[in-house]
Chains A and B, each alone.
Chain A
Amino acid sequence: MGKEAFPDTHHSHSENTYLGFWIYLMTDLIMFATFFAVYGVVRNNTFGGPSAKDILDLSYGLVETLVLSTSSFVCALGLRAALTNQKQKMISLFGLTFLLGITFLTMVGFELTHIVQSGYSWEMSAFLSSYFTLMGTHAAHIVIGLIFMAVFVAQVGFWGLTDVTKKRMTTLSMFWFFSYIVWIFMYTIVYLIGAQ
């Protein structure tokens, strides 16, 4: 390590943030892994209530997946615009990401409400508890992602694309991709396996 590479200069700050954020995402992944493991243990413990097959609609889940993956793709384009200093393009792309995120969240909201209204609430069985917890935790991530997307895009609007705002857009995108990847596991483990 040369002397130039020593900390407390500005550019190495973002390197620290990226490493720190990767590690944070890993801890979040372990938390999700715990929830998935628990789901794996109790998914057949329906206690006379419905099983995954009875409450999940594969094609509805597929549409959700497509919405979130489009959102993730647009987010990547937005990040590219941010890093190449195209402010207006970035703002509109992240605007689209945001709208797709809201759409996804609304779809999840409808899905869960529909299940509860069919008389299958989380209080019925360990399987339903676990399903609602997985969906809820994932939805909470989307909500947090949306809040900070609004804040950071507004910061880009006010301050322009500085080192700091670029760093924030990058970590935000990492978080958004992460939430998307977790959803892929959700669709595979909960929907695809459950529907069999």
Chain B
Amino acid sequence: MNEIFGRLTIDAFKHDLIEASVGVSILIAGAVMTFLLTYYKRWTWLWKEWITTVDHKKIAIMYLIVSAAMLFKGVVDAGMMRAQQVLSVGDSFGYLGTEHYQQLFTAHGVAMIFFVAMGFVAAFINYFIPLQIGARDVAFPFVNALSFWFFVAGGMLLITSLMIGNYSGVGWVAYPPLSGIEYSPGVGVDYWIWSIQVSSVGTLLTGINFLVTILKMRCPGMSLMKMPMFVWSVVVTLILIIFAFPILTATTGMLTLDRVMEMHFFTSGFGGSPMMYVNLIWAWGHPEVYILILPIFGIFSEIVPIFSQKKLFGYVSMVVALIAIAFLAFVVWLHHFFTMGAGPNVNTFFGLMTMLISVPTGVKIFNWLFTMFRGKILFTTPMLWFLSFVFLFTIGGVSGVLMSVAPIDFQVHNSLFLVAHFHNVIIGGVVFGIFAGFTYWFPKMFGFKLEEKYGAFAVFFWVFGFLFAFIPLYILGLMGATRRLDHYEASTGWWPLFAVAAFGFVIISIGIGFQCLQLYVSYKNRKKNRDKTGDPWNGRTLEWSTSSPPPFYNFAHTPEVHDIDPFWVMKEKGLKEAKGNYEKIHMPKNTPHGFFIGVLSFLFGFAIVWYMWWLAIVSLIGIFVSLIVRFSDRDTEWYVPVEQIEQIESKRGK
């Protein structure tokens, strides 16, 4: 049996009640989906319209759906941890076992960073980069689909670990020697490795694909310094991805070799060096946090001018600030482990660089504020998210600069103070930015606007919920509470603050409730909220010049631009867009190979996790076969006939 199933035995399916209930609910959800698809006879539709698609807009919607599902998982994890910390004090040990708790905080971090933040950002990049640069597609549409399916395969490995075996319990960056085979002999760390290894291949391909798209496929007249600021922020992000992700691939690769081949890169014996892993993982990990936040800066740079009805202040300084941040992002990684003891000189250098990085970030904040200055500000939901972002992100940034002073960091290293800091910048920055971008671009993606009222309620509850949930953590951190704590003594006096934090989680949940309600009510009133013009916000950039949602070829005529904010200038000058005289359009054809390779890479990861070597070999060969079949297909493109374009365009605005 060992030859067939490796180390997978029936025990892998046995879980305690709480773990099992998660697995069962996933299975039920899957069964319900299967039933609905069969009942409404939607399988062919799903296959033809979505799974095999190479349309960057549909891929973006799929990213949104997967990320939203992972967000749900991440939030539930967070709630369970907060509940445990309230219940597990003194003689009471709460309702979660220690091992389960460890898996929770690991899975929470991995899901939120790799599959929620990266997923939503990938969705926005996919949908709006081609639209904003006036292109009809990306440079490599098939590779784009492939990236998405790698992302899904990675996510599925994370979800599978809930049902078969267990997930890693050693934190989201899995420091050795704890994550080595000696101290973590189970499958958890292997699931961690392969869930991020597979999805980060997708991220790397996205990086290459979109960088080529932006550099080569901008519409006539759009020089680099006329690109919308979101495009600029994405260019810089992609460069960070291209430099940082290969390091992650190599590092997790070496950890795999340590675990599976009994090598000694990061073991504590045989000449291995665990601290080398910590250096390598943060050489990727610190650029990674800028990979998350820079596109968000781009989104805000779109939103603030729109709702201040004014040009973005300091375009050139914004670009320079982005590039400066990207450069500095690679020379601050050591501030994650000042306590390693690299000596005062090294620590001081990295501390100074860390302080320095707040300067270009500050430039950006001030530029947004100056954009608002003397503007006619419309307090719509995206703008409310922006204002909350300025408030919370600045607090988070200041606490970060505080910790860049090495002696202070020695005091609060790995304490809840740190946890509060990075949630302050990630929730206050990345998550709020994602919500702002989602509300802002929702009418473009789905054709109707979201109800403003519920959005405002959601902002209110999120901001106050956040303050209740994380300000206590700053205080707890200063009182000495470490992170990843599943039990503490009553005599510490920490309980009231943990209770306040849990209360904060409840308030945030109400905010999430309002967001769900907002989606539901807006969908119900979608006829009333319909965006017929394609330009619901009085937009400035090219994505607003086409219909909502855009036709699959994006633009009937290739746009030509002369200024920053081309669509705004066009409206100012009273120019109308060209109609008629359509020419046939060259578009890529759908292909199932992205999906096949995604499934096979999932199997490949799963096989290595469980040591099923035959399956690993078979799926690897399958990946190559699928690629070769795809390369042998000579019929991958088609022309959209003029009649079809005329038909689609004539329906516009109705």
Contacts and interface: CB of A to CB of B under 8 A. Distances in A.
Given A20-B212, A42-B276, A126-B272, A27 B263 contact: no
Contacts of A31: 246-247, 249-250
A69 to B, nearest CB: 25
A118 B271 CA distance: 20
B257 interface: yes
Contacts of B269: 47
B135 interface: yes
Interface residues of A, number: 46
A54 interface: no
A125 B250 CA distance: 19
A34 B247 contact: yes
Interface string B604-637: 0000000000000000000010001001101000
B136 interface: yes
A151 B265 contact: no
A15 B243 CA distance: 22
Interface string B179-217: 000000000000000000000000010011101100111
Contacts of B140: 16-17, 20
A101 to B, nearest CB: 17
Interface in A75-129: 122-127, 129
A168 B208 CA distance: 18
Interface string A1-27: 111011111001001110110011011
Contacts of A159: 634
A8 B553 CA distance: 11
B254 to A, nearest CB: 7
Interface string A51-68: 000000000000000000
B221 interface: yes
Contacts of B323: none
A140 B3 CA distance: 25
B221 A130 contact: no
A178 to B, nearest CB: 14
A132 B218 CA distance: 44
B262 A130 contact: no
Given A133-B257, A164-B634, A20 B208 contact: yes
Contact of B247 (A30, A124, A125, A147): A30
A2 B264 CA distance: 56
Interface string B406-437: 00000000000000000000000000000000
Interface string A154-186: 010001000010001000000000000000000
A126 B208 contact: no
B243 A30 contact: yes
Q: Tell me whether chain A's interface is mostly helix, strand or loop, or mixed.
A: helix
A35 B250 contact: yes
A27 B585 CA distance: 33
B273 interface: yes
A138 B504 CA distance: 52
Interface residues of B, number: 52
A88 to B, nearest CB: 22
Given A3-B220, A27-B208, A129-B257, A8 B263 contact: no
A20 B212 CA distance: 6
A10 B207 CA distance: 23
Given A12-B216, A28-B246, A133-B254, A126 B273 contact: yes
B265 A129 contact: yes
Given A23-B208, A31-B250, A38-B276, A151 B271 contact: no
A15 B220 contact: no
Contact of B276 (A7, A41, A125): A41
Contacts of A164: 634
B265 A126 contact: yes
Contact of A27 (B209, B246, B267, B270): B246
- Of B212, B215, B272, the most chain A CB neighbours within 10 A belong to B212
A34 B216 contact: no
Interface of B: 135-137, 139-140, 204, 207-209, 211-212, 215-221, 242-243, 245-247, 249-251, 253-254, 257-258, 261-265, 267, 269-273, 276, 280, 558, 560, 585-586, 624, 628, 631-632, 634
16 contacts: A3-B560, A15-B216, A23-B211, A27-B245, A31-B246, A42-B273, A42-B276, A45-B271, A124-B264, A124-B270, A126-B271, A129-B272, A133-B257, A151-B628, A152-B631, A155-B631
Given A1-B221, A20-B212, A124-B264, 17 more contacts: A3-B560, A8-B136, A12-B216, A16-B216, A19-B212, A20-B209, A23-B242, A27-B242, A34-B247, A42-B276, A47-B270, A123-B261, A123-B270, A125-B270, A126-B270, A129-B257, A152-B631
